[in-house]
Chains A and B, each alone.
Chain A
Amino acid sequence: MLEVCDLSFRYQKRGPLVLDGVNLTLERGEIGLLLGRNGAGKTTLFQTILGMQKPERGSMRFDDTNLLTCSRRERAQRIAYVPQRIRFGALTVYDTVLSGRIAHFGFAPGSEDRAITERILEEMQLLALAERDVETLSGGERQKVAIARALAQQPQLLVFDEPTGNLDLYNEQLILSEARRAAKERGIAILMSVHDLDRALSLGDRFFLMKNGKIRYTGGPEIMTEPVIREIFDANVRIISIDGKNHIITEETL
C-alpha cells in the first residue's frame, strides 16, 4: 500500500508551496486517478514519489519501505514510471524492455532477466515486434513498449503521467486496458493522471482531486459530482447516466 502523509514541497526556498500537505493512500490492485488543472501539482507529486524531488516535509511509504530513505535501486524495484513524453534510443523493442531490469541486474542482464522480459513481451503481444527498432514504431506501440519496460521492473506501484495524451482513440483504449489489466491481474497499484474526466470516471477506483498543491477531495467515483468538478477545474460539466453508468460531459456538448 502506498501511503503519502502530509507531503510538502517547494522549488525554491521561500517560494510558493507546490505540494501543500498532500495525503494519499492507494492499495495494491487499485487504480488511483490524480486529477486537477494544469499546474495543480500533479507532475510534481509524481516526481516526488519517484524520488526526483526531495520533499520539504512529510513521509512516504510503500508497504514496509520508507521511500524517503531507501536507495534509488530499491525504489526502482518497487515503483516504475511511464513518463508523459516517451523517448527511446534506437534500440530493439526487446532490449528496451530488458533495460527495465537494470535495477535488478545492475550491469549485465542474466537469464532470469531475459526470461521475465520474454514473458512480458508475450503477455503484451509484443513478441512480433521484438526485433524492431523502437524508434520506428507508431505512437501507440511505443506507449505499449514503455509500459512493458515499466512492468519488467516488476513494480508494485506504477506511475502514469498522462499516458494517453497523444494517442488516437484505439490506442488510448488499448493503453488504458493494459493499465487496468496490470492492476487487476498483477495486483499493482496504479497512480495515473488523465485529462479526459469521463475516461477517468470509467477507469478509476479512487480519485484524488488536486488544486493549488492540495488534495481537496479523496474517495471513490461517488465524489465526482458536478459542484466538485466545477470547484476543481473551474469548468461547467454535466453528469448524466447512460445504461446505469455515469458519464461526465462538458456543457458545450449538450
Chain B
Amino acid sequence: MKQRIETATAKKKNAVAFAVLIAALIALCVACLLVGSSNMRIADSFSALFGHGTAAQERIIRNIRIPRILAALIAGAGLSVSGLIMQTDLNNAMASPSTLGVSNAAVFGANASIIVGAGGFLETGNRLSSYTSGINLYATSLVAFLFAALSILLILGLCRMRAFTPGVVVLAGIAIGAVWTAATTVLQFYATDVGLSAAVIWTFGDLGRATYRSDLLMALITLPGIAFFSIVSWRLNALLSGDAAAGSMGVNVNVLRFSTMLVASLITAVCVSFLGVIGFVGIICPHIVKRILGHDHRVTVPASALCGSILLLIADTLSRSIGSGSALPVGAITSLFGAPFFLAIIFLRRGHADHA
C-alpha cells in the first residue's frame, strides 16, 4: 500500500497560494514604506529608512509610515481571521467580526469618552485640544474597548443561559448592537457640534492613528488569538459538519464556540478601539480565501490573515493617494472598493456550492 497518499495537488495549490500572498505582502509593505502623501521621493524614503535622511524625513518614515504599516498588517490579519471564525462558528456566510455588536459597542464607548469625557456634552466650551492630545486617544480607546468587551460578555453570557446555537447568537448580537447604536444616537443628539464631529470622525476607521504602542497592544491580542485558532483548527473543521457530528466526534461544541467567538470578538474590539470601524475586511477576505483554497482551517486561518493584511495595505495606500495630502479614512475605502469587488467575485463565479 502507498505509504502517504496525502493530498499532493491540494498541497501544491496551497503552497503556491501562500507564496503569492507572502510575496504580495512584502511588495506592498515596501511600496507603502516608500510612497505617501508627503510626496517624498523614493530615494529619500530609502535613505531616511536607513537613517541617512533629514530629520523630518526620518520622522515621517519611523513615526508615521512604519507604525501605519504595522497597524495595517495586524488589524487586517485580525479582522479577517475574526470574520472567518465567526462565519464558521455561526455557520453563516454573512457573519462578520462585528456580528456580536462589538463595533457598535466600541463606537458607543468612544463617543461617550469623547462627548462626555472631553467636555463636548451639553457644554458650550470648546475644548478641542483634548480630543487630539495623545493621552486622550488612549483614554478613548480604553473606554471603547471596555464597552466592546462588556458587550461581548453580555451576549455570550445571555447565550449561555439559553441554547448556544448560531441562531440565538446572531439574534442576540443584532439586538444588542441595535441598543448600542441607539444609545450612540442619543449621545450624539445632545452633543455639541465640536464634540459631535470629533466623535463621528473617530468612528471613521483610520490607520493614521496608529502608534508603536497601539500596534503593540493590538498585536498582543491578535497574534496569540490567531495562534489559538490555528491550534484548534481541526476542531473548527469538525464544526463545519454541524454540531451533532462534531459533538459525536468528541468536540465540545459549546466550549469551542464560546472560546473562539470570545477571542475573535476581543481581536475585533482591540482593533476597532484603536483604529475605528474598518468594515468589510472580515467578510471579503475569508470569502476569497474559502473560494480559492477550500474550508480547511489549517489553511484558511493563515491565508485569511495574510489576505486581510494585504487588503488593508492596499486600501490604506489608496486612501493616501486619493486624499491628496490628507488621507481618506481607510474604513471608507475598504467598503467603497471592497463591496463591488466582492459582488464581482460572487456573481462572476458560478456553479460552486455556496457554503459558509
Query: Is A95's CB within 8 Å of the partner chain B?
Result: yes
Pair count A-B, CB < 8 A: 107
Q: Which of B242, B250, B251 has the most CB of A within 10 A?
A: B250
The answer to whether B235 and A102 have CB atoms under 8 Å apart is yes
The answer to whether B290 and A90 have CB atoms under 8 Å apart is yes
Q: How far is the CA of A118 from the CA of B5 in the complex (A)?
A: 7
Taking residues whose C-beta sits less than 8 angstroms from the other chain, chain A's interface range is: 35 or more
The answer to whether B7 and A81 have CB atoms under 8 Å apart is no
Mask: chain A, 136-154; 1 = CB below 8 Å from B; 0 = not = 1000000000000100010
Query: Is A76's CB within 8 Å of the partner chain B?
Result: yes
**With A87-B242, A90-B290: A99-B249 Cβ-Cβ less than 8 Å:** yes
Instruction: List residues of B (1-60) whose CB comes within 8 Å of A's CBs.
Output: 1-2, 4-10
Query: Is B234's CB within 8 Å of the partner chain A?
Result: yes
Q: How far is the CA of A155 from the CA of B150 in the complex (A)?
A: 43
Q: How far is the CA of A60 from the CA of B32 in the complex (A)?
A: 63
**With A89-B241, A102-B238, A107-B234: A72-B252 Cβ-Cβ less than 8 Å:** yes
Query: Is B231's CB within 8 Å of the partner chain A?
Result: yes
Interface of B is mostly: loop
Query: Is A238's CB within 8 Å of the partner chain B?
Result: no
| Set A100, A108, A122: member contacting B249, Cβ < 8 A | A100
The answer to whether A76 and B249 have CB atoms under 8 Å apart is yes
The answer to whether A81 and B244 have CB atoms under 8 Å apart is yes
12 interchain pairs, CB-CB under 8 A: A76-B250, A81-B245, A85-B242, A87-B241, A90-B290, A94-B6, A102-B250, A102-B251, A103-B250, A108-B234, A118-B2, A121-B5
16 A-B pairs besides A83-B245, A103-B250, A153-B249 with CB distance below 8 A are A52-B244, A52-B248, A72-B247, A72-B251, A83-B248, A85-B242, A86-B245, A89-B240, A89-B294, A99-B249, A100-B249, A102-B250, A114-B4, A127-B5, A131-B8, A149-B249
Instruction: List the 5 closest pairs (A to B, CB-CB), nearest first.
Output: A89-B240, A76-B250, A103-B250, A89-B295, A81-B248
